[in-house]
A and B are shown apart, each in its own frame.
Chain A
Amino acid sequence: MKNDYPQSVDFKINLIQEQLGHGKDLSIQRMRLHEGLSGVLIGIVFLSSLVDKAKVREMSLEINRLSNSVKSIGNKDEIYFKMLQNTPLCGSKVSTGSDNEEMLQQILEGNTVILFDEIEFFLAYTTYGPEGRAIQEPTSQTVIRGPKEGFTEKIENNISQIRRRIKDKSLRVEPLKLGTITKTDVALLYMEGIALESNIKEVRKRLSEIQIDGILEGQNIEELIRDDTYSLFPTIYNTERPDNVSAALLEGKIAIIVDGTPYVLTVPTTFIEFFISSEDYYHSIYDSALFRLVRLLSFFLTVFVPGIYIALTTFDQELIPTPLLLNIAAQREGVPLPTFWEGILMEVTFEILREAGTRMPRAIGPAISIVGALVLGQAAVQAGFVSAAMVIVVSITAIASFCIPNTAMADALRMTRFIVMILAAYMGLYGIFICMFGLVLHLCKLKSIGVPYMTPVAPVISKKNTDHIFRVPLWARKKYPSLFSKTKKLRNHMDGPTQKRQTQTPERK
């Protein structure tokens, strides 16, 4: 038959159908053009689940209109192909190809492929436009003041949110495809001229070395490229907030956006960054200092309070003032478990409650809080299973752990807390100090894409340190952080806030 030769439309369509397993969402339209081009057969193939349907419809209409306007000349197929190739239909990007595999890939990425009789090439139009979530407020990093926009699952959307904030020619968006099966779109963002070239190269190298079947979330990438694989602490920052990423880019950090997740990674990061909320920059410097001190205090509380309580009550009672000691001792009367196990019991209970709170269907949320607060808190104390002091200790650690703006860090600290508790139960305050030494040594050892984790505390970078626990006013923040950027440019050219040099006294009447 005439239709069976390899360049015929029908042959190609059969091939596609076979390869894609006659999928339900595979949409194939054969179009025989009339008028001047009568006799030309084209095939339009796309996955209806991935394309923007309005766009495809408009495109076929446009093809029709176009073909109507053409009068017959020479080899119809050839000319028609050339014409379409040079006409952006509905403003989509056009690409050509001849490889069958490539054609399938184009279809799977949501592009519309146009096939021609007699011509081995195909045309692919980008019509990718699946339904997605609208931009919503971030759920994990909320602010009182500041933008309420969060990233969504669509990478274009996310890039657009950053583009909207940084309208500069030096913003680079490098596209990547990771995952041999998922072929996930990944974008590497940085500011050319600000970001340190060596950092960019390092990240690019690490990303290019990823060979894995699938990337579904930023964490997948984080796990594959992070330094110190087995550390509890996150060495790559993640955020849901576009303003956060924009600020990171301006400092010379590098962002990695992954399609399909609202969490964007930024590297390199430092320990203190996990205690900084983007909101700090939207409040006065004093407010932000207070917030950060509170968060660092929470860090200390959440890691050490249960351990210190155990150490003091079971080893070093002399360090507790007598009235407080009596108070605690009175509560301990009749509690059947040793303090350590009491603490572990309550901490594990809290972890279960927390986990239940995250996993359970939203509708039964209130039920859990009632059970948690009433049954486990009050009833356990009244029944004498645990002392009220221990409930207070566990509550303060739990609340403190929620003060930490980044969940990855909060999770790491919660696990550290258990280590501290175990050592405190074995060795008292001595154990806690061992833990502190261990923690400090470990944190100082960590690196994030080659940058020491504890900078600017260790190694000390005192002079250029304008944004740590305390941040300086914006006009005083002149230099770029030397670890992320080597540029000589200044961030501002101001000696102070712009003020009126002479204040005008209003005339008295």
Chain B
Amino acid sequence: MKKRLLACFFILNLLFLTGCWDRNELNQLAFSTALGFDRNSEGDIVITAQILNPRAIAAQKNTNESSVVVVAKQGHSILETISSMSTELSREVVGTHMQTIVFGENFAKEGIAEATDFLLRYYQTSSELYFTVAKETTANEILNNLTKLENDPSAKINSSIVISQDIWAETNEIKLTELANCLASDGLSAVMTGIEMQAEKPDDSLEKLKLTQNDPLKLSGNAILKEDKLVGWLNEEESQGYNYIFGNASTSAFDLQEDGVGKVSFNMKHITSKQEISCEGGTPKVTVLLEMQATIQNMDHSLDISKQETLNQLQVLAEKKLKGICMTAVTKAKAVKSDIFGFGAAIHRTDPQQWNTMKKDWNDTGFVNLPVEIEADVTIIGTDSISQIINAKKE
């Protein structure tokens, strides 16, 4: 009995001695969902944290409070800066629900390796982080906005990235592990969705925001990184080309404007992309095979699409246009000398020995001189709910 009591005493002691130090009540924590990195003119890091205000977001009744609280601090290192935010907040900033990372354009130009290292290392951040680069502005500016539809701006940015990539193939969803892979790899450069201010920022007040119709934030193009530094931007068409080649796109919309067929819109589905490397005489050559299915969504000429010849004609035209779109992306990437398509990595996989000789200066010489051929295969599988144009008699 004595022994048992003693054992109980020790077990109870264990209870009192462990664990508790980690305990935090929800109302002692400030959950930050978006973090912005900037560099000021002195070269210091400026970190902007967007902190959710649960009272305003989830409350049943309307409040006059803003749904997010933005805190910006500058300092020499990242953790130091985040910790110093406690001087401005009554609560501890925690990153367990961090979702969006915005790099200011200047910060990105000087390299994002330090920030990525921190995010990978820090125990609070998960790998489910979405990365964006502020185009022609600072992360601070971007995060100092309230958004429409969503109370939580980072939720808006994230879902916008995902949805847009899915149905429009412009943005690029890149998460922490993928970004880290790109930074570590010689033959693959990172591409991050760009984010810009829609127009002049409406006003600071919530009331004014309610009056404006536009969301202040807009995703726009993609930032091209070389190693960890921003080197250029892909515009809308180039971004689509990139997503087709890289295999990010699964559905997209696509227009054709040609003599003889007029304007035809396609809905692209089941887009697949395959990179094929062939070596002829020691010089590698890349062939990108694109396959997709399309349905006609819109026509303005009376085409007889019940005939296979017409469809073939449309398919050839679509393939041609698609090749063009893809080539713009390749041209842009070659211009900024950054292998965003992972051609280098593909060569590495198919021919590691050859890759060893090429990987030095791959981006600057190898990639720029790499012959790239796009082969597109569009199959028109249907015309959706109607076949003939509705006002055919007009022609």
A→B interface (CB under 8 Å):
313-315, 317-318, 322-323, 325-335, 338-339, 423, 425-428, 430-431
Contact = CB atoms under 8 A, between A and B. Distances in A.
B124 A330 contact: no
B55 A333 contact: yes
Nearest to A428: B19
B19 A427 contact: yes
Contacts of B99: 322
B349 interface: no
Interface string B103-132: 000000000000000000000101000000
Given A325-B31, A329-B58, A330-B55, A317 B19 contact: no
A313 B99 CA distance: 19
Given A317-B97, A322-B99, A431-B19, A338 B54 contact: no
Contact of B15 (A315, A426, A428): A426
B57 interface: yes
Given A317-B96, A318-B124, A431-B19, A326 B25 contact: no
Nearest to A329: B54
A67 B359 CA distance: 128
B29 A317 contact: yes
Contact of A326 (B27, B54, B96): B54
B26 A315 contact: no
Interface residues of B, number: 28
**DSSP class of B's interface residues: helix, strand, loop or mixed?**
mixed
A425 B22 CA distance: 11
Interface of B: 15-16, 18-20, 22-27, 29, 31, 33, 52, 54-55, 57-59, 94, 96-97, 99, 124, 126, 152, 155
B23 A315 contact: yes
Contacts of B27: 329, 332-335
Contacts of A331: 58
A428 to B, nearest CB: 6
Given A426-B15, A426-B18, A317 B23 contact: no
Closest 8 CB pairs of A and B: A318-B96, A330-B58, A427-B19, A329-B54, A330-B54, A332-B26, A327-B58, A329-B26
20 contacts: A314-B24, A314-B25, A317-B31, A317-B94, A318-B97, A322-B31, A322-B97, A326-B57, A327-B54, A328-B26, A330-B57, A331-B58, A333-B27, A334-B27, A338-B25, A426-B15, A426-B18, A427-B15, A428-B23, A430-B19
A329 B124 CA distance: 18
B20 to A, nearest CB: 6
A423 B18 CA distance: 11
A332 B97 contact: no
B25 to A, nearest CB: 6
B33 A322 contact: yes
Given A317-B24, A326-B58, A329-B31, 8 more contacts: A314-B23, A317-B31, A318-B96, A325-B31, A325-B97, A326-B31, A332-B25, A426-B20
A322 B97 CA distance: 6
Contacts of B20: 426-427
Interface centre among A328, A329, A333 (most CB of B within 10 A): A329
A431 B14 CA distance: 11
A313 B94 CA distance: 13
Interface centre among B58, B94, B97 (most CB of A within 10 A): B58
Given A317-B96, A322-B152, A428-B19, A339 B57 contact: no
B30 to A, nearest CB: 10
B52 A326 contact: yes
A442 to B, nearest CB: 14
Contacts of B126: 318
Contacts of B58: 323, 326-327, 329-331
Contacts of B57: 326, 330
B162 to A, nearest CB: 15
A319 to B, nearest CB: 9
B22 A317 contact: no
Given A313-B26, A314-B25, A332-B25, A423 B15 contact: yes
Contact of B54 (A333, A423, A427): A333
Contacts of B19: 315, 426-428, 430-431
Contacts of B15: 423, 426-427
Contacts of B155: 322
B51 to A, nearest CB: 11
Nearest to B19: A427
A317 B26 contact: yes
B361 to A, nearest CB: 42
Contacts of B18: 426-427
Contacts of A313: 25-26
B1 to A, nearest CB: 12
A311 to B, nearest CB: 10
Contacts of A317: 24, 26, 29, 31, 94, 96-97
A294 B55 CA distance: 36
A315 B31 contact: no
Contacts of A314: 23-26
A350 B52 CA distance: 34
A368 B233 CA distance: 69
Nearest to B67: A326
A315 B22 contact: yes
B63 to A, nearest CB: 10
A361 B321 CA distance: 85
A313 B57 CA distance: 18
Contacts of B59: 330
B96 to A, nearest CB: 4
Nearest to A427: B19
Contacts of B31: 317, 322, 325-326, 329
A423 B23 CA distance: 12
Nearest to B97: A322
A423 B26 CA distance: 19
B28 to A, nearest CB: 9
A502 B54 CA distance: 68
A502 to B, nearest CB: 50
B147 to A, nearest CB: 15
B26 A339 contact: yes
A442 B290 CA distance: 61
Contacts of B52: 326
Contacts of A339: 25-26
A279 B217 CA distance: 61
Contacts of A328: 26
A317 B33 CA distance: 13
A320 to B, nearest CB: 8
A408 B22 CA distance: 37
Nearest to A331: B58
A322 B50 CA distance: 14
Interface centre among A313, A325, A327, A334 (most CB of B within 10 A): A325
Interface centre among B25, B55, B96, B99 (most CB of A within 10 A): B25
